[in-house]
Amino acid sequence: MNVNSLQDLSVPLRDRVRYRTRRLPARRWSRAFSSHHENTAIERIYVINLDRAQERWTMVNRELGRLREATGHPLHTLARRFPAVDARYLQGPPPPDLLVPTYTLAEQLQVDPHPHLTIDDAARATRIDMTPQEIAVALSHIHVWQLIAASNAPYTLILEDDAYITRTCMSVLHNAWSGIQEASNVGHSVDLLYLSYQETGEETESRRRTRPLLRRPTRGVWQLSGYILSQAGACKLLDQLPAHGPIDLWINQQFPRLHVQMTDRPVIQQRPGIASSNSYSVMPVLAKVGALRRESPQTLQHRPAREPILVIGEPGTGLTTVAKALSVLGLRCASDLTALPAHETQALVRGSRRRVFDAYVNIGSLTPREVTGIVSLTRVRLIITTATATAQPSPPFQQAWELQRPQRRLLLPADDPDPWQTLARFLACDYPAHPWPSQPEQGQRHVTARSHSDAIPSGRALAWDTSPWIVQRAGWPGITLKTPARQDPVLQPSQKAITWHEGTRLEDSHWYLREDTFPSNKALFRPGNATLPLHGPAALTLREEATRVRDLTGAAIASRLSFTYGSFNARLRVPSGPGLVTGLFLHRNGPRQEIDIEILGRDTTCMLINVFYNPGNPGTRLEHGYRGTPTVIDLGFDASEAFHAYEIDWQPDYIRWRVDGTTVHERVTWDPTPIPDQPLEFNVNLWSSESTEFAGPLDKQILPAVLEIASLKAHRPT
């Protein structure tokens, strides 16, 4: 598991050069491969390939066709495609006799040591659940091992479909294979030969020049993009099942039971430009324990073309779900509305590029007559949702359906067994790695114009992230919905408040003290830095204190519960000084959504409000950007001099930020993002940012710094 490569997702220029020069191999044939039955030859090649990625199999097969085995036959004559297990179709836990889908941080560190982490009791107690993608990869490799164990082939090359054979591969194998034959002749057959890996640690140039063609792995990250497995080795691995944890991690733990070798250099590489759809379960854990100081946001690689998409259908046919799916694909989607803003309707009808949105789902003002006109006059795609695969478009939209060309129209039934495949093929985009976002029907929401009396000072907007779900257009006011939620919230009997105020105990059932960090945080949160006295406010302290992962320690309080909408407030007195950040916010990952209040110590007369929005059901790992949509609000006082009440009022149709009971900022839907809609955790913390541009350079002479908290309160629906 190459964790290091995940920290920088850009493809180095040298890797592209290597890939481009693979067509000029140092050798086109090797005695290591043979189609004749020999005691020590690679007689079979398995390519692990998803059914929905047949083009990758074609690419690998074409590449194998350029190379030859010992008798002159192309290598693709030895190749067999193995249909990979698809994470999207996994039902329930994996077979317990094959795979236990958990592992520990200690097991990860045994294989991939980190200079700032130790294998201690905490690491042994930190259990990590494998992602569906990791489970699918593990089962795919195990099933290939079963085929190898049952075969007569002495050796088999296993390739993942995003791998390619480097220009030196055949030469290295040809020269090294005599060593494999000699070892076999004296009873020391190689069980596993790594062709794809990344070594760790420094090595001198003289040692690189004198190292043998084959050697035993010592330190590094041993990947399964390309490896050679003997029939005996496959049997040994199967005897040790069930595996636990990611398969490339687990197989490292079997080294004492196997005769493992590696080539003197990696000769199988991952093809540049192909983004992995794997989701690595260890990454969030490494971020929390402080092993990562920076990270790259997970983004969409390929989005559909920005042609307008109209989605219509009867109620109950999955319209809200389709809207969310289009959003996950990276489209700005106006959905479940009685009407569009007038200028947006005009842009759509005229086919103008001045449209704000890419897709329009269940819009009441788009009558059958207007839809027919749009279809006949502009270049759009038409999707009609139906209850079943056998249903036809309803009569009001029949004319629009018949006018549209077949390749630009789609019937999408609610009972489609693989809606992602149907939608991705229609839009000519990649099959998403994320789960299909099943959503309850929302119905059409009433749209109203925001009156001048509703205007709230907007503050000063800072630079925004470039994201598919941020409207970057001057003067765009968002979409205001006319609902009862527009009134100031009143706590209903169906809601429950969890509170804390100074002088009382912090209830363990409601709150906890964080003991982790995140990549851009200079501090590690420690419970010992939180003081809750019997009299007076609580104190969160940031101090200079060296740990294995950070030079500072801070403190944070978080709710044990996650909330979907409500009111969240705290009375705070913040510390001042450059580099300090006081946070009052709601947050989640997978998909990342966040609503912030942050007060920067370098100017405590202002507060920063922010929203991060990424769509999808829980488990959708999208994290576009790390600036979000920040706006600076002038407080009119110095927040470090006295206690003040700060509040986030989060409702389905708007977010309001209040200070001492007065609303200082409001955002409605698509102003400039949709409103976060997933359960979020409530947090208060004190930390220092790695970004001096954001928070200023930290002057350690102001430490220890203290954030004082007089009360916390959250209203949550039950």
Q: Which two tokens stand for residue 658?
A: 């209040």
pLDDT at residue 145 is higher than 60: yes
Torsions phi, psi of 634, nearest 5?
-75, 120
Write out the H or E segment, with its range, that includes residue 569. Answer: strand 566-573
The pLDDT value given to residue 3 = 40
Cα torsion for 239, 244, 246, 251, to the nearest 10°? -30
SS (H, E, C) 348-374: HHHCCCCCCCCEEEEECCCCHHHHHHH
Q: In this predicted model, what pLDDT tens digit does every residue of 451-468 receive, in sequence order?
A: 544 567 678 999 999 899
The pLDDT value given to residue 293 = 79
Find where tokens 């970004």 sit.
Answer: 691
pLDDT at residue 426 is higher than 80: yes
The pLDDT value given to residue 294 = 77
Q: Which two tokens stand for residue 216?
A: 């035993």
* Three-state secondary-structure class, residue 250: helix
Q: Are 371 and 400 in contact (CB under 8 A)?
A: yes
Query: For the chain, what is the radius of gyration of the CA atoms?
Result: 29
pLDDT at residue 629 is higher than 90: yes
pLDDT at residue 660 is higher than 50: yes
pLDDT at residue 220 is higher than 90: no
Residues of the chain with CATH 3.40.50: 309-445
Pick the CATH number of 21-289 from 1.10.287, 1.10.3470, 3.90.550, 3.40.50: 3.90.550
Euclidean distance between the first and final Cα of the chain, in Å?
A: 41
CB within 8 A of 405, min separation 6: which ones? Answer: none
CA angle, residues 575, 581, 584, in degrees to nearest 5:
95
CB within 8 A of 17, min separation 6: which ones? Answer: none
Q: In this predicted model, what pLDDT tens digit does every residue of 602-626 receive, in sequence order?
A: 999 999 999 999 999 888 888 888 8
> What is the pLDDT of the chain when averaged over all its residues?
88
Q: Architecture of 309-445 per CATH? A: 3-Layer(aba) Sandwich (3.40)
Residues of the chain with CATH 3.90.550: 21-289
The pLDDT value given to residue 274 = 61
Q: State whether the Cα torsion 561-565-569-575 is positive or negative.
A: positive
pLDDT at residue 552 is higher than 90: yes
Q: In this predicted model, what pLDDT tens digit does every residue of 280-307 receive, in sequence order?
A: 888 889 999 988 877 777 777 677 777 8
**Number of other residues whose CB lies within 10 A of the CB of residue 483:** 14
**Average pLDDT, stretch 688-710?**
95
CB within 8 A of 586, min separation 6: which ones? Answer: 563, 568, 594, 595, 596, 648, 650, 676, 680, 681, 682, 683
Q: Are 687 and 541 in contact (CB under 8 A)?
A: no
**Average pLDDT, stretch 643-647?**
98
Q: In this predicted model, what pLDDT tens digit does every residue of 561-597 receive, in sequence order?
A: 999 999 999 999 999 999 999 999 999 998 999 999 9
Torsions phi, psi of 224, nearest 5?
-110, 25
At residue 323, what is the residue type?
A
Q: In this predicted model, what pLDDT tens digit does every residue of 376-389 receive, in sequence order?
A: 888 899 999 999 99
* Three-state secondary-structure class, residue 98: coil
DSSP state, 3?
H
pLDDT at residue 652 is higher than 50: yes
Q: Please give the CATH topology (third level) of the domain spanning 460-675+687-717.
A: Jelly Rolls (2.60.120)
Q: In this predicted model, what pLDDT tens digit does every residue of 71-86 receive, in sequence order?
A: 889 999 999 999 999 8
pLDDT at residue 211 is higher than 80: no
β-bridge mates for residue 228, sequence order: 157, 193
Cis peptide leading into 527, omega within 30 of 0? Answer: no
User: For the whole model, what pTM was predicted?
Assistant: 0.86
At residue 209, what is the residue type?
R
**What does the DSSP assignment read for 149-196?**
HTSS-SEEEEEETTEEE-TTHHHHHHHHHHHHHHHHHTT---SEEE-S
The pLDDT value given to residue 486 = 38
Q: Are 649 and 586 in contact (CB under 8 A)?
A: no
Length of the chain: 718
- Of the segments 139-153, 181-195, 251-265, which one has the largest average pLDDT value? 139-153
* Three-state secondary-structure class, residue 412: strand
Pairwise CA distance, residues 287 & 7, whole Å: 11
* Three-state secondary-structure class, residue 347: helix
The pLDDT value given to residue 184 = 78
Q: Which two tokens stand for residue 424?
A: 């991705």
Q: Are 164 and 19 in contact (CB under 8 A)?
A: yes
**What does the DSSP assignment read for 19-31?**
HHGGGS-S-SB-T
Pairwise CA distance, residues 330 & 320, whole Å: 16
